[in-house]
Amino acid sequence: MFAALVTSLALYVTWAISWRFLRKLASDSLPGPAPSSRIFGNIPDFFSPKGWEYHRNLLERYGGVVKMRGFMGERLLAVHDPAAIYSILVKDQEDYGLSIPQLLRQELILGPGLLAVHGDQHRKQRKLMNPVFSAKHLRDLVPLFYEVAERLRAVLRKQLENGPQEIDALFWIHRTALEIIARSGMDYSFDTLEGNDQHPYSVAVKGLPGLATGPAGFLVPRLVLPYTAKIKLPRLKRFIVERLPLQRVKALIHASDTMHRTSVDIIETKKKAMESTHPEVVAEMANKKDIISLLMRANAQAAEEDRLSDEEVIGQVSTFVFAAMDTTTSGVTRILHLLATNQDVQDKLRKEILEAQEFGQVDYDKLSLSPLLDAVCRETLRLYPPIPIMPPRMASRDMVLPLSKPIVDLNGKQLTEVIVEKGTNIVISNLASNRNPEIWGDDVLEWKPERWLSPPRKSVVEARTPGLYSHLMTFGVGSRGCIGFKFSQLEMKVLLSVLLSSFKFSLTDKPIGWRMSGIVSPIVEGNEGKLQLPLQMSLV
In the annotated binding site for heme, the residues are: 482
Which residue, 320, 431, 323, is CA-closest to 85? 431
Distances in Å between the alpha carbon of 98 and those of 181, 399, 412, 538? 26, 16, 33, 46
Q: How far is CA 485 from CA 354, 388, 449, 482, in A?
A: 26, 15, 20, 6
Q: CA gyration radius for the chain? A: 24
Alpha-carbon gap, residue 67 to 401, rounded angstroms:
13
Contacts for 243 with CB less than 8 Å, ≥ 6 apart: none
Nearest to 108 by CA among 257, 324, 230: 257
Nearest alpha-carbon partner for 56 in 445, 347, 350: 445
Q: Detail the residues annotated as belonging to a binding site.
A: 482
Residue 77 backbone dihedrals phi, psi, to 5 degrees: -115, 130
Distance, in Å, from the CA atom of 433 to the CA atom of 142, rounded to the nearest integer, reads: 32
SS3 string, 322-384, reads: HHHHHHHHHHHHHHHHHHHHCHHHHHHHHHHHHHHCCCCCCCHHHHHCCHHHHHHHHHHHHHC
> Which residues have C-beta within 8 Å of that of residue 105, sequence separation ≥ 6?
212, 217, 221, 225
φ/ψ (deg, to 5) at 533:
-140, 85
Which residue, among 77, 70, 66, has the nearest Cα to 40 in the 3D structure?
Answer: 70
For residues 20 and 396, the answer to whether their CB atoms sit within 8 Å is: no
The H or E element that residue 247 is part of is helix 247-274
Rounded Cα gap, residues 110 and 238, in angstroms: 16
d(CA 77, CA 87): 14
Going 380 to 386 to 435 to 369, the CA torsion angle's sign is: negative
Distance from the first to the final alpha carbon of the chain = 79
Q: By the 8 A CB rule, do 519 and 390 touch?
A: no
**Contact present, 72 and 418 (Cβ < 8 Å):** no
Spatial contact of 522 and 532, defined as CB atoms under 8 Å apart? yes
